Every structure is written in structure tokens, then in C-alpha cells.
Amino acid sequence: MKYLHVIFFTMALSVDAGSPLLAFDAPLFAQESDNRQSVALTVYNNDLGVVRDVRKFDLKQGTGLVRMRDVPSRIDPTTVKITDLEHPKDVEVIEQNYEYDLISQDKLLEKYIDKTITLTNAANKKVVGTLLAVETGKMMIMTDSGIISLSGLTGYTLNMPQMGGLYTKPTLLWQVQSTHAMTGEPLEVLYQTGGISWHAEYIASLGDDDKTLDLTGWVSIDNKSGMSYPDAKLKLVAGALHRVQPQSQPVHGYGDRMMAATVGPQFDERGLFEYHVYDLARQTTIGNNEVKQISLLGADKVAAEKLYTYEGGKTVAVTISLQNSEANHLGMPIPMGTVRVMKRDKDGSLEFVGEDHIDHTPRDEKITLHVGNAFDLTGDRTVTSQRSLGSNANEESVEITLKNHKDEPVTIDALENVGTNWEITVSSMIYEKKDAYHVVFHVPVAARGEQKVTYTVQHRW
């Protein structure tokens, strides 16, 4: 049978004056043809990938061993599921092994402890003995004349007897029982692996009047799983999955309408359970230790609003607000990620003006980006008086001063936390109640001017 659990071979370890070099007389395993039929990869936000790898195997009648090399070093072997796609009732997996103790010089030598080895130097003088111990290249050998200690292998050729069960790559081995012999039988191997995740990044290019923006989005797939995925069918899943992480185990929906924004021809979006799937409409290759970026979306002339917000202190925050709706050229589930806001300067160049992180945003929800603090706007908040109104009440008066050093008028939203059980008894300006604890004053401030807001609030308990 082509796929064997144990394959015997002879080898020679040659070492010259440079770094030690392994040179084998025969390959560790018989050469395998490219038996992969297809691979599909689903990547999640939280260091998780699900792989569906279809490969062809030769199966003998009765019980035999099959082997699959080139699997991720971060694979979770407890998640492996193997299915015969053409004869599911005729093939049964009895046992599975995951071999991950890969070959290195020391590991190879450790397998020959208590076995006879032969050392030959450049003068063809041989030392034959039993290998007793190996530690970082150092060897202890029992010969007929006593124990020899070698601090290294430089200048020697090391000959060792044949041995099987050596693996150059992480390998899955199955003991399979088949009702009859099969050639090129397609088996689907499903498993989970760590070391791979994805995230989204967005560029928001503001229009000249700050009232519209062009939004583009990219996804980045970061693959450190220990394996490449050639010509893979790629899916990305956005959502917060609950996963069990046992302490003893090391780390190795919405509706199904299509996006209104431009996602083609790259990704199709649909709901899956309580999450969202972004399905790449073509195959792609994701190499190991590679970060691959793929265009996700594009939307032009998205209506936006620049807001100024004051919440005490000296600074006034600048935010950009937009509605994720079809009427606003969006209306799609937007995966979480970083939004970088750009603004075109007078010379035509795009300049960076701030960034913010957004969570997963369903359609028809508002997106608010805090991009920085206004240079030419300042504020000051002063408690002008406090007094008790008896054993279960008090009163506080506040004065807010907002200054505008710009050449054009602005409106600044002064957001106040008024606590609980409150009543504003006096106010110099109409306010809006935001929730049970907050009110906001929409304060117009003239160009190169200032505006004061005063109010008195009473609390009872």
C-alpha cells in the first residue's frame, strides 16, 4: 500500500567543518503525488480557521493505514472529522493519530539511544558503540574500550541503522476499515486550526464640505497556522462566537439580503445563524506566515455629519457620524475594524485626520467615529454654587463657556451628566434629554466668539 505508518530506510549523517548537515541515503517517506482535490477555508475573527480538505487516497480491503501530511502545526486534532464523499457506508475510521514530534538533529539522535551507531572520521577511522545520551549536540557513546564523550559531530560521518516512524511535517494517520479496495478515493478531512484570523480596515475620504465621504473596506487574513492553502475557497465569518478554552489545552443572524454597497465581484454576504458570512467569489491562495488583503466594499457619496462635543475639561471632541442604510448607499452588515479618516488638502493630496475602531455594525445602525479634538475650539466648565435643600435634596448651578477661534460659526454639543433623580429648574438655553442621566445643550458659537450656558439642577433622594 502506498500510505504506510512505518517506512524503513537507511541513512548517513554527514558533518563537515561547517554547520552539521543531515544527508539521507533514502527519503524518510515514499514520495507522494499531489493528491489534494480541493480545499475550503472559513476564517473567524478570533484566531480560528475551519478547513475542509478533500484528498484522494488508495484504500485496501479490510484494515489499513492512511496518512495525510501537510496539515497545520496549529491544528486541533480533537476536531478532525473524516468522511468518504463517494462511499460513506463502506469506509470506517477506527483510530486516529496526530504525529507532531518532527525531526531535528537532536530528536533524530535521541531515537537511537541504546542502539549501535558508527562514527567515521576523515582518516576513515571508525568508532562503533552504543549511544547512551544526547544533549544539544553532545553525545555519550559506550564502546568496547569504554565511554567516549563527543562535544560535537564536526569532522565525522555518522552511520545509523534503519528506523521508521520519523516525520518531517505534522501528519495525521488513520486506521481505516474498508469493505473493498479503492483507488483514488476522495476523503474530506474537516478540522479546526488556530493561528489564523481576519480583520477589516476602512478608509473614509471626506468631501470638501465634510458632509459626504467615500468609504472603502479591506479585509486582512493573517495566517500563522503552519500551513499554506493553495487555490482555496475562502469564507470569512463576522460575529462573537462563544468558544470553550480548557485550561489544560494549549493554544495551538440577521436577514439574508445582499449588500447594497458595492461588494462585487469580490465578496457575497449572507446571514448564518446569528453571524454574517462573507464569501469570496473566487479562489485565492493564502500562504503560511502571510498577511493577505482583499477588497471588501466600496461606497461613494455617503452622507456624513461632523459634530463637535464638549464633555468638560478644555477640549472639544470631533466626531463623524453616518447612517448605515441603503438610502445612504450602505445598508450592509459592516464587520468590526479600524476606520481611518482622510481629507483632501488644497494641493490635492489626501491627508490623515484621525481614526477610530468600530464594532460589528448591523444595517440601519449609526456609525460614530471619534477622530480627534478640535484645535480651534475650547471649553470651560465651572460649578458656580452648591447648597443643601434639606436632608434629602441639594442644588447645584453650572456655567459652561465655549470658545470658537475659527473664521466660521459652529455648533457645539455640551453633554452633561446630571446624575439621578434630577430636575433642571433654571436654564439659559433649551436642552435635550438624552437618557435618564444625560442632557445635551446644542450651543451655537459665532465665528471668533464665545457662548455661555448656565443651568441649575436639583437632586432629591
Rounded Cα–Cα distance for residues 256 and 404 (Å): 47
Q: How confident is the model at residue 5 (pLDDT cuts 50, 70, 90)?
A: very low
Residues of the chain with pLDDT > 70, as a percent, come to 85
Domain end (from 191, 218, 253): 191
Give residue for cell 434630577: 422
Domain count, the chain: 2
Q: Is residue 401 assigned to a domain?
A: yes
Which candidate, 116, 108, 153, 154, places its Cα nearest to that of 132?
Answer: 116
β-bridge mates for residue 381, sequence order:
400
37, three cell numbers: 482535490
Query: What is the chain's mean pLDDT, rounded?
Result: 85
Burial of 325: CB neighbours in 10 Å, binned 0-12, 13-18, 19+: middle
Q: Is residue 153 assigned to a domain?
A: yes
- The CATH number assigned to the domain holding 424 equals 2.60.40.290
Rounded Cα–Cα distance for residues 152 and 428 (Å): 87
Q: What is the pLDDT of residues 45-89, one digit of tens each?
A: 889 999 999 999 999 999 998 888 889 989 998 999 999 999 999
Residues of the chain with pLDDT > 90, as a percent, come to 61
Q: Is residue 172 assigned to a domain?
A: yes
What are the contacts of 141-144 at 24+ separation with CB within 8 A? Answer: 141/117
Asked if 118 contacts 126 with a C-beta cutoff of 8 angstroms, the reply is yes
Domain end (from 191, 209, 240): 191
Q: What is the mean pLDDT of residues 308-313?
A: 97
Q: What is the pLDDT of residues 17-29, one digit of tens each?
A: 333 333 333 333 3
Domain range spanning residue 22? 1-31+55-191
Q: How confident is the model at residue 98 (pLDDT cuts 50, 70, 90)?
A: confident
Give the contacts of 87 (CB within 8 A, at least 6 positions apart): 179, 182, 185
Q: What is the mean pLDDT of residues 312-331?
A: 96
Give the angle 136-140-144 at the CA atoms, nearest 5°: 160
Q: What is the mean pLDDT of residues 104-131?
A: 83
Q: What is the pLDDT of residues 220-255, one digit of tens each?
A: 999 999 999 999 999 999 877 777 765 444 433 333
Q: Is residue 147 assigned to a domain?
A: yes
- Please give the backbone phi and psi of residue 292, each rounded to the nearest 5 degrees, phi first: -105, 135
> Which residue did the predictor score with more confidence, 432 or 240?
432
Domain end (from 164, 191, 218): 191
167 pLDDT exceeds 80? no
Q: Is residue 432 assigned to a domain?
A: yes
Q: What is the mean pLDDT of residues 161-177?
A: 75
**Considering Cα of 147, then 149, then 155, then 159, what sign does the dihedral take?**
positive
Asked if 224 contacts 197 with a C-beta cutoff of 8 angstroms, the reply is no
Rounded Cα–Cα distance for residues 195 and 72 (Å): 9
Q: What is the DSSP string of 22-59?
A: EE-SS-SS------EEEEEEEEETTTEEEEEEEEEEEE
Asked if 166 contacts 56 with a C-beta cutoff of 8 angstroms, the reply is no
Which candidate, 383, 400, 388, places its Cα nearest to that of 458?
Answer: 388
Rounded Cα–Cα distance for residues 151 and 157 (Å): 15
What pLDDT score was predicted for residue 245? 61
Q: How many CA atoms lie within 13 A of 209 on its CB side?
A: 6
What pLDDT score was predicted for residue 99? 76
> Which residue did the predictor score with more confidence, 239 or 164?
239
For residue 108, give the 3-state DSSP assignment. Answer: helix
1 pLDDT exceeds 70? no
Q: What is the mean pLDDT of residues 333-355?
A: 94
Out of 95-99, 128-132, 142-146, 314-318, least confident range: 95-99
Q: What is the mean pLDDT of residues 173-190?
A: 92
Which candidate, 231, 172, 319, 316, places its Cα nearest to that of 38?
Answer: 231
